[in-house]
Amino acid sequence: MALLYAKTHEWYDKASGKIGISEYAANALVDIVFVDLPEVGTMLAAGDSFATLESVKAVSDIYSPVSGEIVEVNEALRDAPELINEDPEQTWFVAIKAETEATGLMDKAAYEAYCASNPEA
Amino acid sequence: MKTLFDISKAGAKALFIDSSILSATSYRLDPKLLRSQPARLPQVAENELARHYTALSKRAFGVDDGFYPLGSCTMKYNPKVSEKIASLEGFAGIHPAQSESDTQGILQIMYQLQDMLSALCGMDKFTLMPSAGAHGEYTSLQMIRAYHLERGDTKRAKIIVPDSAHGTNPASTAMAGFTAVNIPSKDGMVDLQALQQVVGEDTAGLMLTNPNTLGLFEKDILQISSIVHGAGGLLYYDGANLNAIVGNIRPGDMGFDIVHLNLHKTFSTPHGGGGPGSGPVGCKQLLAPYLPVSNVACKDGQYYFADPEKSIGRVKMYYGNIGVCLKAWAYIAMLGTEGLKDASLMAVLNANYMLAKLKDKFKVVSDKCMHEFVLSLQELKEKTGVSALDFAKAMIDEGMHPPTMYFPQIVKEALMIEPTETESKETLDKAIASILKLYEQAFAQPESMHLAPRTTPIGRPDEVLAARNPILAYEFDSPLEGQ
Amino acid sequence: MVKFTPHLPQDIAQMLQAIGIEKLTDLYDGLEQFLNRSNITIAGKSMQTVEQEARNASLANKVYPSIFRGAGSYNHYIPPLVDNLSARSEFLTAYTPYQAEMSQGILQAIFEYQTMITELCGMQVANASHYDGAAAFAEALLALRKRGKDKILLSSALHPMAAKVIETYLNPLNVKVEYIDCSNGKTDIEDLAAKLEGASAVGIAQPNYFGCIEDADSIGKLLAEKGVGYVMSIYPISASLLKTPYECNAQIAVGEGQPLGIPMSFGGPYLGFMATTKQNVRLLPGRIVGKTKDNKGQDAYVLTMQAREQHIRREKASSSICSNQAHCALRAAIYMATAGKQGIQEVAKVCYAGAHFLADKICKIPTFQLKYNTEFFNEFVITSSIDTKKIEKALAEKGILSGLPLNSQDMLYCVTEQNSAKQIQELIAYLKEVAK
């Protein structure tokens, strides 16, 4: 998969429509204890938050890079949110049927450079 | 330590009531209405219960055990006379639906407390209904909403909340049907420019605590008031930090239209392990018609309940956390204005004394404060790896309760210290010495602090496991029948 | 004037020097424009005087030795263990147990409380308390809101104050309340079925305000079929005998915990309890204690799932609740542990028997009759042609707090284990006199 990354630390695979979070983000969140997933069929606009991740002491929103309909949800995350920490780049949250093109995304190298120069983000 | 369910023995009995009616009559519920299996409450004899709870109490730590410098919580001493008063039969033993003529004594105290709080806050009317600070916030926000709607001003959908605010502020905002708009702080204070840009026709109000959650007095409060009122909004006072100024400065003189108080903070009622508190709401005349039902009024020396004409409705069954209100009444009656002035002044003195002794070692927001101050351990963490959490846990081993950790969110590795006025110089000196010792220890033996606390019944709990795999009730051998 | 500040002049002098200021008022430097603007003085009195004044005020309240009134606040026997153990200062003067290592006692007590509440409700998880039964009821109904279904149905047999609280909570969120009719003192299931369209959830009280036992399980079956949420508000004493909310298919069980060892205290502080299934745990607001292990493998208790709460979720939290009714929950836990599995059932049976005995006897007095021909638990409505205020006054003169006048004809009576045979006999005798 050639993943593209958003400034908000999600990765997006255009071919499958799958969205997850980067290793950088997963490490920052430390242990994820709960994922609040949306329902299949939910319509999203680019930039909408569609899920929240909970660690023991914090909550993070996950944003969609594209507009479209959620066609699949990774049910395994309901009982095993730790999968995200174990292998973030392989663990997807939802698959979206995109109606728009993703804009503002970076390839891996550009994303890593972005993270290095913006540690607060 | 064993739980009640572990020590439970079938047949053990501790409650002895007169149940002769059961043998004298045959009134019984139809079996079709009954649950299939009784509730598995434990069966424990009285002496075993006494030992169980006594043992539990020895694994707890109250203000009566030691120094409790929790920022924003005002853990001051809880006078025992207040406990005695609240448990008098003539208060504890009265039913809330007794007639007004039956309950003039308690109504008089409630009326007096309403008046006392109005006087102390510079407000016109008070309600004792809300059960806690957050409940008071929620009640106030409903009143603000009603006020604007009644004037036909339907666009005011936003409440401005500083990013340093306590989480209950934005949460109450959402519950009251508003959208919370965060404004960033500038050097820990409200950024007047940011505020000016954010206010408008859609501003219902601004929620503020003063001094703020960094322990700093918002000196521009009159300008803040002017900006908000100028845009047509109202100014709300979160009374969590009133202990810095009570008796000396009134929120009403700072431009606030409506306030909530925390009787379990400023007015010395005990925290009880998390509650009950009481969150009375006071307001200026313009908001008084919207107060929740019911209020205590007085006419010709007779006390009675009166409902405000345009009340937002009812936020609680009956009249409020009366047992808690009684304790606050007693506290104010004993201290009076002079005693409260002294209390808040000593609270500010104690905080500044500790700050003066600690500011050279830790990063601080300002070298003077009000009743509390925030230390940042970010630098210490970078140099030694010891975080605010580690430091706080090590303070437990020094015999005190740690300060508030990681709040406000705008300071990294924050420890918020509020000594309160009831601590002596000796206690403060001892605490200061411990903290300075721990500071040195962070450099010399950082590992030891990662392992703290070591003098407590348990070490650090696995909170990740607790959240991922919640066990929220005793695990009996089998589930209740039907499950 | 009483002072709890221990500072002596020499302490203050040393502290001022350390701070680098000259006098105490320098602490409020720059705030002169706000200082001392009030011209109202509250006199500070001695501790002794305040105690006396309080005592006098307490004596100006009438304490009835014989109480036959319920309506949301109940005169149950509070075993002395409750006052004694809960008064320990380690429990009373402690903060919320966020520092788990030094608060295991309080956390374990709450864990035990949660367990006992789940058992009473027939559920699997419970929170650590809410403000009171009415607030718990309101927040439970809000938690079951569904998108596009902005209506909540409430039985019209709820405590009027509880119904008003729910209305107040729903109002700013544009959720409508619609009331279900009652027939013969019970919620009318047919009317409920007719009003289900567009409703997210339904709120029923068991027993209801009139003391009547609802067909809570039939209601539950209907709601489960129609996919509408169900909140059951229960009386914790009768809960030890009656079909549980779980057995009635309720999603969330709530209730007022005051009957569990908390004094009537003119209405507060009381105790809202909330319980649900493991699957629905995230619907519960407020603090929850969980069990885990510490870094040495020992059992440990901790406040868990905090990321649901306001201090983390902020405006995305479902509830702003922070301080709860922890100490009242402790009292309730000690009560439930003292009563135990058998004791609480015994209390319930005595309440039931006493109420039915009294109702039968009252109905034998001319003009008095049961208003509803429906099974009840320990409260019931008597209707008669005699003005209820007249009855109330006559009984008050004999030291009896009568049933609650609902209107000029109807009176809501309550019997608990505190009403001795003698008290019941006296009540009957005086009612007979009033009826003449």
Q: What is the pLDDT of residues B318-368, one digit of tens each?
A: 999 999 999 999 999 999 999 999 999 999 999 999 999 999 999 998 999
Distance CA C321, CA A53 (A): 21
Q: Which residue of B has its CA nearest to C49?
A: B334
- For A58, the closest of C305, C308, C312 (CB atoms) is C312
Whether B50 contacts chain C with CB within 8 A: yes
Asked if B161 and B225 sit in the same domain, the reply is yes
- For residue A28, name the pLDDT band (cuts at 50, 70, 90): confident
Cβ separation B467–A57 shorter than 8 A: no
C21-33: pLDDT as tens digits: 999 999 999 999 9
Residue B66 within any structural domain of the chain: no
Predicted pLDDT of residue B230: 97
B202-233: pLDDT as tens digits: 999 999 999 999 999 999 999 999 999 999 99
A47-90: pLDDT as tens digits: 999 999 999 888 899 999 999 999 999 999 998 999 999 999 99
- For residue B85, name the pLDDT band (cuts at 50, 70, 90): very high
Cβ separation A59–C305 shorter than 8 A: no
User: What is the residue type of C16?
Assistant: L
Cβ separation B464–A57 shorter than 8 A: no
Distance CA C44, CA A79 (A): 59
User: Considering chain B, what percentage of its residues have pLDDT values greater than 90?
Assistant: 95
B331-343: pLDDT as tens digits: 999 999 999 999 9
Distance CA C142, CA C146 (A): 9
Asked if B8 and B150 sit in the same domain, the reply is no
Helices (H), chain A: 23-29, 76-79, 82-86, 108-117
User: What is the residue type of B305?
Assistant: F
Determine the distance in angstroms separating the CA of B379 from the nearest CA of chain C, rounded to an integer: 24
Determine the distance in angstroms separating the CA of B453 from the nearest CA of chain C, rounded to an integer: 7
CB contacts, 8 Å: B464 with chain A: 31, 33, 56
| Strand order through the sheet with C151-155 | C125-126, C272-276, C252-256, C229-234, C199-206, C151-155, C176-180
Residue B478 within any structural domain of the chain: no
Distance CA B180, CA B206 (A): 10
Residue B162 within any structural domain of the chain: yes
What separation in angstroms does the CA of C57 have from each of B302, B331, C48?
Answer: 13, 16, 14
Does B481 have pLDDT greater than 80?
no
- For residue C312, name the pLDDT band (cuts at 50, 70, 90): confident
Asked if B47 and B94 sit in the same domain, the reply is no
Cβ separation B60–C111 shorter than 8 A: no
Does B482 have pLDDT greater than 90?
no
Residue B220 within any structural domain of the chain: yes
Domains, chain A, in order of start with CATH, read: 4-117 (2.40.50.100)
Q: How many C-alpha atoms does C53 have within 13 Å on its Cβ side?
A: 17
Q: Which domain holds residue B46?
A: 4-58
Q: Which residue of A has its CA nearest to B467?
A: A33
Q: Which residues of A touch C (CB under 8 A)?
A: 33-34, 52, 54-59
Q: Are B183 and B163 in contact (CB under 8 A)?
A: yes
Cβ separation A81–B463 shorter than 8 A: no
Determine the distance in angstroms separating the CA of A101 from the nearest CA of chain B, rounded to an integer: 31
CB contacts, 8 Å: B407 with chain A: none
User: Considering chain C, what percentage of its residues have pLDDT values greater than 90?
Assistant: 97
Asked if B307 and B323 sit in the same domain, the reply is yes
Does B404 have pLDDT greater than 80?
yes
Asked if B288 and B397 sit in the same domain, the reply is no
CB contacts, 8 Å: B170 with chain A: none
Predicted pLDDT of residue B483: 75
Closest CA to B202 of B157, B148, B141, B254: B157
Cβ separation B468–A33 shorter than 8 A: yes
CB contacts, 8 Å: A34 with chain B: 467-468
B23-39: pLDDT as tens digits: 999 999 999 999 999 99
Whether B424 contacts chain C with CB within 8 A: yes
- For residue B150, name the pLDDT band (cuts at 50, 70, 90): very high
Distance CA C363, CA C370 (A): 7
Asked if B312 and B376 sit in the same domain, the reply is no
Range with the poorest average pLDDT among A25-34, B221-230, B394-403? A25-34
Distance CA C100, CA C103 (A): 5
Whether A107 contacts chain B with CB within 8 A: no
Determine the distance in angstroms separating the CA of C306 from the nearest CA of chain A, rounded to an integer: 7
Asked if B14 and B142 sit in the same domain, the reply is no
Asked if B192 and B322 sit in the same domain, the reply is yes
Asked if B88 and B233 sit in the same domain, the reply is yes
Test mutation, A30, A31, A54, chain B, max B CBs within 10 A = A31
Q: Are B463 and C302 in contact (CB under 8 A)?
A: yes
Predicted pLDDT of residue B403: 98
CB contacts, 8 Å: C100 with chain A: none
Mean of pLDDT values over C71-100: 98
Sign of CA dihedral B452, B456, B458, B460: negative
Closest CA to C352 of C363, C340, C364, C360: C360
Predicted pLDDT of residue B186: 87
Asked if B35 and B160 sit in the same domain, the reply is no
B118-128: pLDDT as tens digits: 999 999 999 99
Q: Which residue of B has its CA nearest to C120?
A: B39
Mean of pLDDT values over B145-174: 94
Which residues, other chains included, contact A120 with Cβ-Cβ below 8 Å and sequence gap of 6+?
Answer: none
User: What topology is assigned to C80-336 in CATH?
Assistant: Aspartate Aminotransferase; domain 2 (3.40.640)
Asked if B225 and B123 sit in the same domain, the reply is yes
CB contacts, 8 Å: B467 with chain A: 33-34, 54, 56
Predicted pLDDT of residue A121: 62
- How many residues are given for chain A? 121
> Taking CB atoms and an 8 Å cut-off, how many pairs form between chains A and C?
19
Whether A59 contacts chain B with CB within 8 A: no
Cβ separation B453–C159 shorter than 8 A: no
Cβ separation B334–C159 shorter than 8 A: no
Q: Are C181 and C172 in contact (CB under 8 A)?
A: no
At B257, phi and psi to the nearest 5?
-95, -25
Q: Given phi > 0 = left and psi -120 to 50 = alpha, else beta, which region is B284?
A: beta
Determine the distance in angstroms separating the CA of C316 from the nearest CA of chain A, rounded to an integer: 10
Both structure tokens of C50:
């305040």
Does B10 have pLDDT greater than 80?
yes
Predicted pLDDT of residue A120: 67
The CATH number covering residue B459 comes to: 3.90.1150.10
Predicted pLDDT of residue B261: 98
Q: Which residue of B has its CA nearest to C142?
A: B175
Which CATH number applies to C66-77+341-435?
A: 3.90.1150.10
The domains of chain C are located at: 66-77+341-435, 80-336
Q: At CA B219, angle to CA B251 and CA B117, rounded to 5? A: 10
Whether A31 contacts chain B with CB within 8 A: yes
Q: Which residue of B has its CA nearest to A81?
A: B468
Q: Which residue of A has its CA nearest to B409?
A: A58
Whether A81 contacts chain B with CB within 8 A: yes
Mean pLDDT of chain A: 91
Distance CA C99, CA C82 (A): 25
- For residue B375, name the pLDDT band (cuts at 50, 70, 90): very high
Predicted pLDDT of residue B210: 95
Asked if B313 and B358 sit in the same domain, the reply is no
The CATH number covering residue B197 comes to: 3.40.640.10
Q: Which residue of C has its CA nearest to B482?
A: C247
**The pairing of beta strand B203-208 with beta strand C176-180:** unpaired
Q: Per the structure, how many domains does chain B have?
A: 3
Residue B49 within any structural domain of the chain: yes
Predicted pLDDT of residue A119: 76
**The pairing of beta strand B234-238 with beta strand B258-260:** parallel
Q: Which residue of A has its CA nearest to B407?
A: A57
